[in-house]
Structure 1
Amino acid sequence: MGLMNTSQGKTIAKSYYFAAYGTAFIVLGLASAALGPMLPYLARQVNVSLSQVSFVFTAVSLGYLLGSAGGGYLLDRFKGHPMMLVSVLVSIIALFFIPLTSQLSLLLVILFVLGIGQGVLDVGGNTNLLWVYQSRVGPYMNALHFCFGAGAFLSPIILHYVMRWSGGQLTWPYWSLAFLTIPTIFGFVLLPSPKNQEIEETEKNSAHITNSGLIIGMIMLFFVYVGIENGFGGWIFTYVSETEITTETAASFINSIFWGAYTLGRLLAVPLTRKIKAAHLLLGNFFLAIIFLILIIIFPSNNLALWVGSAGLGLALSSVFPTLLVLGESRLRITGRITGLFFLGSSLGSMLIPMLLGQVFERFGSFHIITTLLILTFFGFGILIFVIFTSNNTKEKHRSQRNLR
């Protein structure tokens, strides 16, 4: 019996898959976080105002929405790694051409295509990791999303130094991202695509595997959670600045500490998910998020409360997304289509809830941004209880001994 047929051999083989997906998610984080720091330079390149160039965010979001929803559908029909390879190649080409265009309309098209590639890569990495590790996916899923956070954290730093080295030219920052994306190709070329072993199994209790109420509840959870995350991360600087609690410099650091704690929390969640069930961890996440938002509301002018609340909220929210995927894996037969629907919910949340907060800010003032986020967190907490109750009634899906090995 060869090494790869032994338990140790299978563990080593799975580690290759994680290395491939982890590398891809570092690069995904690098590219995703690049748009904000490069926005003023893109505006100058296409000769438009910042308000006009801000449509690039919409272009990327729409492309990501299409890529994640369509990619999930295609994963059930085609092998995953060739699809992810194509998405990487598309991303490399888009990153290469971004600094070469001088028209806003063409830039929007290129970023829309980049968003499609990122959406396919994101849903593909998450779905394939679920298929590789199955019931033991918890710590690996959190580690995968930590890789994304690490890439997003490093992106502004890398771009800053490349800009300095290139004398302020926009070409080399994006070409450096394209170059850093190239190593992800090898994993998708060398490793065979994982298969969804459960999809071919016929079970007597299969009715709950396609429980539409449970799927809708999960989609709503992704919608609310990602909206809260992006809403707080996107508006906390404005909230602090407009309320004049502290200086704009301190407001930037408060924003940074939220994302820093968010990234650190995903690393800390890796050992936690080995010991704590996904449902219990999620209940703790939402409960802590409510506590820290209430802290900010009770002491709206207190600097310490704002720093502690922002850092605490980052930690509380950090492991929700990957742990939701783990919960879904334990209660549903995960297909590419279902994962795509989860990502569709998260994409809509990332676009609509920050927009809602903008309307709240204009009509009612900055203080009510935090109040709205608290209401949404309570709403998400209620949906989570519904999802856990529904899935407990249907019980966790049956697993054959073969799938647990």
Structure 2
Amino acid sequence: MKTSSNRERTKCQKVTETTVLILTWISLGMYLEIFGPTLKDLILRLDSNYEQLAFAISGRTFGWILGSVLGGFLVDKFQLYRHLIITIALMTAAIATVAIPWLPNITLMWIFCFIGGVCEQVVNIAGTSVTLSIWLDNAASSLILLHMGYGIGSFIVPLYAYPFLAEITLVEMNGTSNLSLNNDSVRNSLSKVSWISLPPSSLHGNSSKGHFGTIKSEIESILNKHPSEFVITGESRIEYAYGIAAAFLFLCSVSFLVYQILEVQYVKRERRPKATFKLSYNQTSVRSNKFNKNTKEMTFLQMINPATCANGKLWYGLKIFIFIFIFMGNLGGCERMIGSFIRSFAIDQLEFSSVDASLLNTSFWISFSVGRLLFAIAAKWISVRVLIIVETLGVAISGALLNIFAVDNSTALWVLMQPVGFLGAPMWPTGVAFTDYHVQLTGVGMTVQILGASVGGIIHLRLIGYLYETFGPRTFLYQLVGSGCVGLMIAIVLDVIGAKHGNRFGVEKDDTNRQKEERDSFM
């Protein structure tokens, strides 16, 4: 009986299913990157600061750990039901997304972010597995296109979220405020504020200490001394923004439910009597069936043994997975850090308006999506070994230039953040394709990659939360360039290791040719 993992698809079926997967990644971008535009709303709703909210969002990266282990196990164990796995994960993520704006404290937000992280990685592993089974050794471009969807969803977020963000603005005329506003109405709206426009002098001299997460108690203190300096220009309605993201998740989950029903029906139609089924086998399908049988009979130790994925080469497989773990960890953490703090950095360091900061966020994700699209095309002709060096080198150089020119120059920030998005965007799918190019990427192999991203996300978010709150927003740029340099060094090491052993597809072709020669000589 054929399963979803080895059945043949027509060109139209491949394109259609890949399109649905891309739409799913768009929905992932919409719900995962919504924290960036709504970060300041959430800080004031929860009466917290950047460090505390960064801790809450890091719950998602803890969820990646469980999600990667769970996803790898489910995909390897239930190949036929991968679409159902995606359906359940997307529906759960939709429920968690709707709930986030209504949560009363940091602890509950951490829990719901944790749930979202679990669902994200289950979808990631199952969706990647489906893509690899569709396109086989031509999967590099499809994987980059798949992850391009994430970038599209990410730059959509600020556009649809902005109308639902509230603002509280300090208004001064002729050196003093000429507006009169009931103090109680201001205080009642503090929990619904998205950002606060305050000159450094208003923060009781604390601006030099780096406290950029202005909280309600500080604002209320200012209100008591200057009761008519603030005006509410609109209430926060971020629950609608989160609801839109959840709706897209739900629609995608329904699509995969339909795919699962069709998949099961296909398998039932293909079921034949045992004798007839044996007679229909050709030599290739016998080898394929034998391979699948051996895969099912693998012990747990064989599943986690790097030699299983590396054609029996234990040390080679171990080196690839160790360094790809570090590479994905650094990359995943840096992406989370940029997505969550780019808007806040622009407002706190360079005094961007809320509109301009949202536009900067949007432009970054547009560059991100364009980068994945163009590199998806380039991957058809350029080796992943070259791509991984070009991408990491470009991000490292861009990070260095940001630290030189964008500290007090808004134009430089606008310009230089674009290559960071453009060159950093394809790094994740390139890392996946690089791994699969050198060793067989099983569900456990994908678990290793996502575990790396989980650990990296935890470290990066906790680090930026502490640095940003303690030393100020410029630490955002320091962490970005540091991450870029680490990524470049790891990419070079991976290239050196891979070049010594060649790619696994070349080995498979050599083995096939050798078997053919032996068979011909025997005949």
SS at match of 1:286: helix
SS at match of 1:86: helix
Of 343, 349, 352, the residue aligned with 2:459 is 352
Deviates most, 155-164 or 305-314: 155-164
**1:373 matched residue in structure 2:** 480
Deviates most, 385-394 or 305-314: 305-314
Count of matched residue positions in the alignment of Structure 1 and Structure 2:
389
- Deviation, 1:385, is 1.3
**2:26 matched residue in structure 1:** 26
- Deviation, 1:352, is 1.0
**1:339 matched residue in structure 2:** 446
Report whether the alignment pairs 1:220 with 2:326.
Answer: yes
**2:152 matched residue in structure 1:** 150
**1:261 matched residue in structure 2:** 367
- Deviation, 1:247, is 3.9
Of 123, 127, 130, the residue aligned with 1:128 is 130
Instruction: Give the whole-Å Cα distance in 2 for the aligned partners of 1:101 and 1:363.
Output: 26
Instruction: Give the whole-Å Cα distance in 1 for the aligned partners of 2:349 and 2:236.
Output: 34
CA 1:168–1:205: 2 relative to 1, 3 Å: closer
Instruction: Give the whole-Å Cα distance in 2 for the aligned partners of 1:305 and 1:81.
Output: 44
Instruction: Give the whole-Å Cα distance in 1 for the aligned partners of 2:309 and 2:161.
Output: 54
Report whether the alignment pairs 1:389 with 2:496.
Answer: yes
How do 1:1-150 and structure 2 match up within 5 A? 10-38=10-38, 48-51=46-49, 56-79=56-79, 80-95=82-97, 97-98=99-100, 106=108, 108-150=110-152
Asked if 2 retains the 8 angstrom alpha-carbon contact of 1:129 and 1:141, the reply is yes
- Deviation, 1:390, is 0.9
SS at match of 2:312: helix
- Deviation, 1:386, is 1.2
Asked if 2 retains the 8 angstrom alpha-carbon contact of 1:199 and 1:333, the reply is no
CA 1:308–1:255: 2 relative to 1, 3 Å: same
**2:263 matched residue in structure 1:** 192
SS at match of 1:76: helix
CA 1:213–1:8: 2 relative to 1, 3 Å: closer
- Deviation, 1:286, is 1.5
Report whether the alignment pairs 1:207 with 2:312.
Answer: yes
Instruction: Give the whole-Å Cα distance in 1 for the aligned partners of 2:341 and 2:93.
Output: 29
Asked if 1 retains the 8 angstrom alpha-carbon contact of 2:36 and 2:342, the reply is no
- Deviation, 1:176, is 4.0
- Deviation, 1:156, is 3.7
- Deviation, 1:354, is 3.6
Q: Which ranges in structure 2 are unaligned for 5 or more consecutive residues?
A: 1-6, 167-234, 268-287, 296-307, 513-523
Asked if 2 retains the 8 angstrom alpha-carbon contact of 1:61 and 1:115, the reply is yes
Instruction: Give the whole-Å Cα distance in 2 for the aligned partners of 1:172 and 1:239.
Output: 25
SS at match of 1:211: helix
- Deviation, 1:212, is 0.7
Please give the TM-score of this superposition, normalised by the length of structure 1: 0.81
Listed one character per residue, the Cα deviations across residues 105-143 of structure 1 (whole Å, up to 9, x for unaligned) are: 555544432332222112221232123212111111111
Instruction: Give the whole-Å Cα distance in 1 for the aligned partners of 2:431 and 2:127.
Output: 15
Deviates most, 102-111 or 86-95: 102-111
**1:308 matched residue in structure 2:** 415
- Deviation, 1:96, is 5.1
- Deviation, 1:358, is 4.3
CA 1:265–1:362: 2 relative to 1, 3 Å: same
Deviates most, 61-70 or 362-371: 362-371
Instruction: Give the whole-Å Cα distance in 2 for the aligned partners of 1:13 and 1:298.
Output: 49
Q: What amino acid is aligned across from residue 132 of structure 2 in structure 1?
A: L
**1:179 matched residue in structure 2:** 247
Q: Which structure's residues are more often helix, by fraction?
A: 1
- Deviation, 1:313, is 1.6
**1:4 matched residue in structure 2:** none
Q: Over aligned residues, Cα RMSD in angstroms?
A: 3.7
Q: What amino acid is aligned across from residue 63 of structure 1 in structure 2?
A: G
CA 1:101–1:336: 2 relative to 1, 3 Å: same
CA 1:74–1:352: 2 relative to 1, 3 Å: same
CA 1:22–1:77: 2 relative to 1, 3 Å: same
Please give the TM-score of this superposition, normalised by the length of structure 2: 0.64
Q: What amino acid is aligned across from residue 68 of structure 1 in structure 2?
A: S
Listed one character per residue, the Cα deviations across residues 222-280 of structure 1 (whole Å, up to 9, x for unaligned) are: 11222333334444455555554x64555554444333311221122221111211111
Asked if 2 retains the 8 angstrom alpha-carbon contact of 1:27 and 1:181, the reply is yes
Instruction: Give the whole-Å Cα distance in 2 for the aligned partners of 1:172 and 1:293.
Output: 35
**2:381 matched residue in structure 1:** 275
Deviates most, 388-397 or 300-309: 300-309
Instruction: Give the whole-Å Cα distance in 1 for the aligned partners of 2:329 and 2:397.
Output: 21
Asked if 2 retains the 8 angstrom alpha-carbon contact of 1:134 and 1:329, the reply is no
Q: What amino acid is aligned across from residue 379 of structure 1 in structure 2?
A: V
SS at match of 1:219: helix
Asked if 2 retains the 8 angstrom alpha-carbon contact of 1:39 and 1:50, the reply is no
CA 1:101–1:218: 2 relative to 1, 3 Å: closer
Give 1 or 2 for the bigger CA radius of gyration: 2
SS at match of 2:77: coil
Deviates most, 313-322 or 72-81: 72-81
- Deviation, 1:308, is 2.5
SS at match of 1:49: coil
Instruction: Give the whole-Å Cα distance in 2 for the aligned partners of 1:107 and 1:361.
Output: 20
- Deviation, 1:400, is 5.6
